[in-house]
């Protein structure tokens, strides 16, 4: 069976590089004339280099659907749940529109794992196959239910990170 597009990819794990890997995929696809949309759950800031890049790069659209503040993962605020739900509705619409060749759901794994998004609503939708739209789910702690239905799962494993030596997040490298 040959299927060119429409698979579900999951990038997860405790190591750095999940969003970065999805952006590498986006650059490769744009180089082949494809259109990519990244929906950023749990994020909404122009400090991220990819947001600045999207303003200059045809073929890449980034839509932040979170808020600027960090989400308390053990006790998310109602606004976090509302924004994630609205973001998910937007994501479903964008995937269904087939306006893009690839849709990256950045940090959706975190939103699912901390209960900001409902696994029972998201996983069945993503498991049905999206036809010609490739979907990439990124973030730590991908739920097993999502891993079970994915076509490709990559786990980034932390071996060593500069944070453990007190190195702060660096512009252009970490965000």
Q: How confident is the model at residue 28 (pLDDT cuts 50, 70, 90)?
A: very high
Q: How confident is the model at residue 7 (pLDDT cuts 50, 70, 90)?
A: very high
Does residue 174 fall inside a structural domain?
Answer: no
Write down the pLDDT at residue 165.
83
Which CATH number belongs to the domain containing residue 37 in this structure?
3.40.50.300
Write down the pLDDT at residue 73.
86
pLDDT, tens digit, 9 for 90 and up, residues 95-115: 999 999 999 999 999 999 999
Does residue 2 fall inside a structural domain?
Answer: no
57-91 CB burial, b ≥16 within 10 A, e <16: eebbbbbbbbbeeebebeebeeebbebbbebbeeb
Local structure of 175: helix, strand or coil: coil
pTM assigned to the model? 0.93
Write down the pLDDT at residue 138.
98
Number of domains in the chain: 1
Q: Average pLDDT for residues 49-70, to the nearest whole number?
A: 90
Write down the pLDDT at residue 130.
62
Does residue 3 fall inside a structural domain?
Answer: no
* pLDDT for residue 92 is more than 90: yes
CA gap 118, 136 in Å, rounded = 18
Q: Which of 86, 104, 106 is nearest to 40 (CA)?
A: 106
Write down the pLDDT at residue 114.
95
* pLDDT for residue 129 is more than 70: no
Q: How confident is the model at residue 39 (pLDDT cuts 50, 70, 90)?
A: very high
Q: How confident is the model at residue 2 (pLDDT cuts 50, 70, 90)?
A: low
CA gap 168, 145 in Å, rounded = 34
Does residue 25 fall inside a structural domain?
Answer: yes
Q: Count the helices and strands in the chain (H runs, E runs).
A: 6, 6
Write down the pLDDT at residue 125.
96
Write down the pLDDT at residue 20.
94
Q: Average pLDDT for residues 78-103, to the nearest whole number?
A: 96
Write down the pLDDT at residue 43.
78
CA gap 142, 149 in Å, rounded = 12
Its domain, for residue 68, covers 8-165
Does residue 175 fall inside a structural domain?
Answer: no
Write down the pLDDT at residue 5.
83
């Amino acid at each position: 069976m040959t299927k060119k597009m429409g698979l579900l990819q999951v990038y997860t794990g405790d190591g750095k590089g999940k969003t970065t890997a999805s952006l590498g995929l986006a650059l490769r696809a744009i180089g082949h004339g494809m259109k990519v949309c990244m929906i950023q759950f749990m994020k909404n800031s122009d400090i991220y280099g990819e947001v600045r890049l999207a303003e200059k790069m045809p073929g890449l659209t980034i839509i932040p659907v979170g808020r600027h503040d960090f989400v308390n993962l053990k006790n998310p605020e109602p606004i976090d749940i509302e924004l994630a739900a609205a973001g998910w509705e937007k994501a479903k619409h964008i995937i269904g529109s087939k306006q893009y060749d690839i849709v990256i759901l950045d940090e959706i794994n975190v939103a699912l794992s901390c209960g900001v998004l409902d696994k029972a609503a998201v996983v069945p939708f993503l498991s049905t196959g999206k036809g010609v739209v490739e979907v990439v789910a990124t973030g730590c702690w991908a739920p097993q239910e999502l891993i079970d239905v994915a076509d490709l799962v990559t786990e980034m494993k932390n071996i060593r990170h500069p944070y453990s030596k007190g190195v702060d997040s660096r512009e252009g490298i970490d965000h």
